[in-house]
Structure 1
Amino acid sequence: MSRRRLVWTGLVAALIVAALLVWVWPPAHRWVFGPGAATNHVVVSGNIEAHQSVLSFTNVQAPITELPFDEGKAVTAGAVLARVDSRVYQQQLAIDEASLEAAARQVAVATSNLAASRSTVASDRLDFAEKQRDLQRNAGQLEAGAISRQTYDLSKTAAGQSGAVLARDEALVKVAANNIALAQANLKTAQAKVALDRVTLSFTTLRAPFSGVLAVRQAELGELAGPGVAIFTLDDLDHVWLRAYINEQDLGSIRLGEAASVTTDTYPGHVYHGRIGFIASQAEFTPKTVETHAERVTLVYRIRIDIDNPAHALLPGMPADASIALLPPEK
């Protein structure tokens, strides 16, 4: 074989290899020849996060008497997570319920007193009217000389006394009405105390505010629970998201609500479906603990990718990657 033929054979082989490289290497990631083309996807990395609530008792302080769940247990909204000794709060409720009953009886007594006072006033008015008629009749008879002056004076005194009794009993009616208002106010106060006692008594039972998984149990039976003393940490695994950061040059090519494909090293080959739920409006430095100066001064924007997690496979703190399609920048 001639030298020229060998050269041509080698050149053809090189062209074939180059063509194969161009064919198998996706142009969306890299070009072999010429300037690099922009990719049509961006991959961001971060950690899975979820809504976490640190649960504690409210407005009560007592030893823990019941802890039916351990860490890692799934609970539904309203499930009883813990109880404390409620005897003191039950006794306070009993005392205030007795006071409420007494206040209700006081209202009944005051109402009866008012009715009796009004009946007395009605009788007084009849008596006063009769005494007034007697006085007028005696006045005419006195002028006619039919009765003595003493008889007339006695009828006048009787009319005056009847009027005084009427005025007194009318004042007592007002007092009885005021007593009813006071008794009703005391009744409302007693009702409010009982309602507060029942609310406080309900605080002796700690319930799950939403369905989730108990991530941390921070108390044991017999410990003194109180406001601010953590009992459980509850994770809402139905609503998880990926916190990640995107470079400034890619910011204009993603949109709120855009779909994202999320993968983890824990479950290789499984793709979780997500959506961009938040894009920060302000840039920040690259959040790394160890980095070069060039990386440290790079500005990025925080994004949140909401992820469907029906099987609760994604857990808080789990590292994950998300692939997002880069869209044409908005004009």
Structure 2
Amino acid sequence: MVAVALVAWTGYHTWLARQPYTWAGTVEARDIAVGSRVGGRVKEVLVREGDRVEAGQPLVVLEAGDLNAQRLQAEGQLMQAQAALDKMQGHARPEDSGKAGAPPLTGSLAEQAARARAELTSAQAALEQAQLDVQRARALFQQEVKSRAELDTAESALRQARATRDARRAQLQELQQGTSADLRAQQGLVEAARGRLEAIDVALGELTIRAPLAARVESLDLRPGDLLPPNATAATLVEDDQLYVRIYVPETRLGKLRPGSEVPVRVDSFPGRTFTGVVENIASEGEYTPRNLQTPDERAWQVFATRIGLREDGQHQLRSGMAAYISVPR
């Protein structure tokens, strides 16, 4: 009996030493929480739980509320700001000059600057003429051809011409500086109005909640008339065509796996059948408290989270949440 027991113990441990390492994990899939940044009242629900959806497919439509009215206001403000900018730049069309409410063609800042420049040229010419008159009056006064009163009149005209020239120059400088600043300010108003209009267009686009990529609708509990807050989850999608298994490998067995190697995957739902998995990633940092502890002794182990991607044979038959087992030879 002792010999039989010894043989049985030896045979059992020999068999046990030849068994592959097995780690338990869970089939997982990436979840996508979709919603709207603006929120609103639900107008239509276009899909149901369990449906397959394609990238860009509408899922839920929200009511527009007053967004259309806001867009009309923003569009009108943009048109007003653009018209004022065109007026400053002198871009008014000749055919619009006779229309009611059309800005006059002579009201642009560019035309005002042109007129001020012409007036400065005229004042400069008048000043030069006044200087010549003073020179001649002085010469004639010295020759006693003209009187002192005539010389004083010529000098007074020279001072008046110089003052007029200085005033026209200051007016042109002020207008040129003001033109540049006013144009920049008006351009800023145009850009601000255009930004408000684009923001409203984005909000209108957010009224239709779409699938970001091909997936399956996992949960959708909305009905027409429900209120959806901004940034709230409207539906949860699952990328069930990219399933993977998450396992935790002890440090002492980490050498049995390497990224890119194939491993067999078994699940309880398909006994006697194995699916092909590929080691996609091994965590660079270990941890002591994995999510799925198998035995009390494992709490003392340092383990590394490992991601096992499933090949096509398991993508269509396995489901997220299933218990899975991965085995590797010793």
TM-score (norm 1): 0.78
1:244 aligned partner: 247
2:82 to 86, 89, 104: 104
Shift of 1:86: 1.5
2:40 corresponds to 1:65: no
- State the alpha-carbon separation in 1 of the partners of residues 181 and 257 from structure 2: 72
- State the alpha-carbon separation in 2 of the partners of residues 89 and 209 from structure 1: 24
Q: Deviations over 1:98-123 (max 9, x none)?
A: 11111111211222333212211231
Deviates more, 1:248-257 or 1:231-240: 248-257
With over 3 angstroms needed to count, the CA separation of the structure-2 counterparts of 1:170 and 1:241, relative to structure 1, is same
With over 3 angstroms needed to count, the CA separation of the structure-2 counterparts of 1:287 and 1:178, relative to structure 1, is closer
TM-score (norm 2): 0.78
- State the alpha-carbon separation in 2 of the partners of residues 170 and 314 from structure 1: 79
1:127 to 97, 119, 122: 122
With over 3 angstroms needed to count, the CA separation of the structure-2 counterparts of 1:133 and 1:296, relative to structure 1, is closer
With over 3 angstroms needed to count, the CA separation of the structure-2 counterparts of 1:316 and 1:204, relative to structure 1, is same
1:162 aligned partner: 164
With over 3 angstroms needed to count, the CA separation of the structure-2 counterparts of 1:138 and 1:259, relative to structure 1, is same
Aligned-residue identity in percent = 22
Q: Deviations over 1:174-203 (max 9, x none)?
A: 212221111111112222222222222221
- State the alpha-carbon separation in 1 of the partners of residues 322 and 32 from structure 2: 18
- State the alpha-carbon separation in 2 of the partners of residues 168 and 157 from structure 1: 18
Read off the aligned partner of 1:83 and give its amino acid letter.
V
2:232 corresponds to 1:254: no
Deviates more, 1:249-258 or 1:186-195: 249-258
1:94 aligned partner: 72
- State the alpha-carbon separation in 2 of the partners of residues 160 and 275 from structure 1: 92
Q: Deviations over 1:299-331 (max 9, x none)?
A: 6543221112475322211222223344xxxxx
SS at match of 1:316: coil
1:227 aligned partner: 230
Q: Which has the higher contact order (CA 8 A, sep 6+)?
A: 2
Deviates more, 1:165-174 or 1:84-93: 165-174
> What is the alpha-carbon root mean square deviation over aligned residues?
2.9
Contact persistence 1:71–1:216 (CA under 8 A): yes
2:34 corresponds to 1:55: yes
Gap runs ≥5 in structure 1: 1-29, 327-331
- The 5 A counterparts of 1:1-331 are 32=11, 35-36=14-15, 38-39=17-18, 41-58=20-37, 60-112=38-90, 113-143=108-138, 144=140, 145-146=145-146, 148-149=150-151, 151-153=153-155, 155-156=157-158, 158-163=160-165, 164-280=167-283, 281-285=285-289, 293-294=296-297, 297=300, 300-309=303-312, 312-326=316-330
- State the alpha-carbon separation in 1 of the partners of residues 267 and 20 from structure 2: 18
Shift of 1:288: 5.7
SS at match of 2:260: coil
Contact persistence 2:286–2:302 (CA under 8 A): no
- State the alpha-carbon separation in 2 of the partners of residues 302 and 126 from structure 1: 84
- How many residues were matched structurally? 296
SS at match of 1:284: coil
Shift of 1:68: 0.4
Shift of 1:136: 2.1
